[in-house]
Structure 1
């Protein structure tokens, strides 16, 4: 009997299913990795948006404000 067949017999119904992060939490390892990947991507998008807003407020806003001020 090969290793795969032995593992299938040993695991029974659990064979081929994703492993859970914690036994009492219905969250698989794949779902945890997907969540980590999405939150990391979202954080970088947020950082990029914050930089764009900061540049706009700090440099572009004052540069455009000189012609709108009435004497």
Structure 2
């Protein structure tokens, strides 16, 4: 009997199904990894936008006379 058959016999109906992060939460580990990837990407995108806005307001804006720097 091969390892796959032993595992299938041991797991029964759960064989081949993705495992959950927590037994009472209906989120699989794959879904949790995708969520972390998307939120990390979104956070870096937000940081980049914040830096671009800061550079615009701090350096480019006064050059066009939007604000006077004393």
Measured in 2, the distance between the counterparts of 1:10 and 1:45 equals 45
TM-score after normalising by structure 2:
0.90
Aligned position for 1:16: 16
Instruction: State which drifts further: 10-19 or 39-48.
Output: 10-19
Aligned twin of 1:30: 30
Alpha-carbon shift at residue 9 of structure 1 (Å) = 1.0
* Equivalent-residue separation in structure 2 for 1:21 and 1:7 (angstroms): 20
RMSD of equivalent CA atoms: 1.4
Any unmatched runs of 5+ in structure 2?
none
Q: In the aligned structure 2, how far is the partner of 1:44 from the partner of 1:62?
A: 27
Q: TM-score, normalised by structure 1?
A: 0.89
- Extract structure 1 runs of 4+ deviating beyond 3 A: none
Residue 57 of structure 1 deviates from its aligned partner by: 0.3
Q: Tell me the matched-pair count.
A: 67
Q: CA deviation at 1:12?
A: 1.0
* Runs of 5+ unmatched residues, structure 1: none
